[in-house]
Chain A
């Protein structure tokens, strides 16, 4: 069974989900280019990394469920992995940025509260 044998409602559903997801991801990329400071820009890719990613993966799940005639949502693995890792990368990146700004003595970031020497 190929894409041509798909019922029309399924094709429209899949296409709608994929376009919405891709649109959110594109919007995130637009935010990445238009926001002025780094701390604002960090927020932009989370659009694609949360709802955008989920919508595209649901589109893929719907497509392969109908094509293969069985329910095997492998996309859940990608979704779970991204959900768990995105906070790690973004937090680490934000901390790296705030660390660099503090060592350069920028005024905009909150100062550290005498942390105990770590590592």
Chain B
């Protein structure tokens, strides 16, 4: 099983994506999808990519729910900022956040989450010190943002990946 499917999540994702691309579940499409699901992970083996290890599927669902709510909420907030509410008291700025997470997959997901919630942008990460540089559109309280990102996302991601 491990030899045929070294990356089971990747295989499953490719199978589904291939079916969606051809938009049918006829035998030829199924065969193509199965071929992609078997062959692509072999390429990954040649490239010697680390296997992603997901420790707690329950935490994945929790994180997905939290992120979905946050994306909608921050869309709403940024929409208000653009429409000009509180134009004078708003101040944008950079903040440094010390991260404890070192797992590369976790950091990649954190980058996607932070950039996908409008109003925050991942700018730079230094692997040596674990310092993350963020740009925040509506920077009211710096410590509040650090607290939010560490407890809301980083803790859950560490639960999943580390």
Binding site for B on A (CB under 8 A): 24, 27-28, 30-31, 34-35, 37, 39-40, 42-44, 46-47, 50-51, 72-74, 76-77, 83-84, 86-87, 90-91, 94-95, 98, 109-110, 113, 115-116
Contacts and interface: CB of A to CB of B under 8 A. Distances in A.
Interface in B107-162: 111-112, 114-124, 126, 128-129, 131, 133, 135, 137
B44 interface: no
Given A24-B79, A37-B92, A87-B115, A113 B20 contact: no
B121 A94 contact: yes
B129 A90 contact: no
Contacts, number: 96
A31 B85 CA distance: 13
B82 A74 contact: no
B70 to A, nearest CB: 10
A25 to B, nearest CB: 11
